[in-house]
Amino acid sequence: MASISIVFRKDKLNKKGEAPIHFRIIKDRKVSYIASTISIPEDSWDSAKNKIKPKHLNSARLNSMLTNKFAELQDNVYEYETNQKSTTTSQLKESIYGKKPLFFFAFAESAIEPFLNEGKIGTYDKNKAIIAKLKVFSDSTSLTFQDITPEFLTKYQRYLKDTLNNKTNTANNSLKFINQMFKVAYSQDLIEHNIIPFNKFKIKAEKTHRFYLSEEELSLIENFSPTPGTRVELHRDMFVFAAYAGGVRVSDILQLKWKDFDGTNLNITMKKTGGQISVKVPNKALAIIEKYKVADGNSNDYLFPMLSNDLNCNDPRAVDSALSSATAYINKNLKFIAEKVNIDKPLSFHISRHTWATRALRKGISIDKVSKLLGHAQLRETQIYAKIVNEDLDKAMDVFND
């Protein structure tokens, strides 16, 4: 059973010589305090009688307030403990006063800080931008989780689409981030489940189309003849390499060094997930690697000479900037190549990843192995490719309807 008492907090004496009066709850040797909002000079407190001395101007009224509040707290604690098998002092305090409002922006900015510390600059910047958009909309730095209601989210969604002209999935990413913050806050027992607006507000995703190249289209890219030694040739080769060697992400392929290649396998630490995979390099991809091997090269040189060997890999911001710049350059040249070979698809490096996944499934590699080589955390991330392949097979069977 919890015990409650009135205490004069001499340990919190201020410069005026006044200290607050608190109600102390002790449960299983753990202590919690509830403020009474009353502060008095030290010489006005009667420690023997545990009350305010008569000499204080408002002693009668204040003592009455303390007595009434003390009785109310006793009743509340008794009622709560009667209905709960086990309680803590913090639970008792919350049952009486409720949890303090939790400020959203301070919590969210603290939640994304680890991305910065881990060098995941792109993720950090993306989430920082989402927070900034919400700040402009709310026009308040003191937005609490309790302020974010289904009605608030409906208005915010409309603002994202109508005022900022965000596409559906861009707007949804902002809403998903807010939802994630609620999940994290709830998991840390900082908010109650009944205030989570996403219990009622549902995010409706817009179906996206994943582009990939057919065997014929990939052959067109492979057989394209750019001027030897140009960036266009390098970018073409990197794309084809990824389409054969496990669909390696552009951020990873740019950072591959010769020391990561043992002659048959690439040993990759994925920038996005931090996971490690070993990919056996097929013959066509091996031929591309050999093309860029330098006789007097260093094991710390990049496999594909896009990034400067002087890049400070210990500076996450510099690395992210270099990767973003290189990726934009590559994608620009891939669009140029697509136009030259008459491929009517928005060619980007990421399509090499989709191309490898669909080709791998068609060639009989099991979905669990495809998932592992892609570095997916869960199999359902890979199942979209299986669905694409099945749809293609269904279309192929339509020839029997002709």
| Beta-bridge mates of residue 302 | 257
Same domain (yes/no): 248, 192: no
pLDDT for position 99: 59
207 lies in a domain?
no
Domain boundary among 199, 228, 257: 199
Contact 352, 247 (CB under 8 A): yes
Alpha-carbon distance of 4 to 13, in angstroms, equals: 22
How big is the CA angle at 207 (ends 201 and 213), to the nearest 5 degrees? 155
Q: Radius of gyration of the chain from Cα atoms?
A: 32
Q: Please state, as a whole number, how many other Cβ atoms lie within 10 Å of the Cβ of residue 73.
A: 21
Same domain (yes/no): 226, 367: yes
Q: What is the CATH number for 190?
A: 1.10.150.130
118 lies in a domain?
yes
Same domain (yes/no): 302, 350: yes
- Share the mean pLDDT of the chain: 86
Q: What is the CATH number for 248?
A: 1.10.443.10
Q: Which among 244, 258, 359 is positioned nearest to 301, based on CA atoms? A: 258
> How buried is 301 (Cβ within 10 angstroms: 0-12 exposed, 13-18 middle, 19+ buried)?
middle
132 lies in a domain?
yes
Same domain (yes/no): 25, 118: no
State pTM to two decimals: 0.64
- C-alpha distances in angstroms, 333 versus 193, 226, 252, 256? 50, 11, 19, 21
Domain boundary among 72, 97, 122: 97
pLDDT for position 338: 96
Same domain (yes/no): 77, 108: no
204 lies in a domain?
no
Same domain (yes/no): 262, 371: yes
pLDDT for position 133: 95
Same domain (yes/no): 248, 397: yes
> How buried is 41 (Cβ within 10 angstroms: 0-12 exposed, 13-18 middle, 19+ buried)?
middle
Count of domains forming the chain:
3
Same domain (yes/no): 263, 356: yes
pLDDT for position 393: 58
Same domain (yes/no): 91, 138: no
Same domain (yes/no): 273, 387: yes
Same domain (yes/no): 85, 122: no
Same domain (yes/no): 315, 346: yes
Domain span at 150: 104-199
254 lies in a domain?
yes
pLDDT for position 2: 78
pLDDT < 70 stretches in the chain: 80, 83-100, 208, 377, 391-402
337 lies in a domain?
yes
210 lies in a domain?
no
Domain boundary among 81, 97, 113: 97
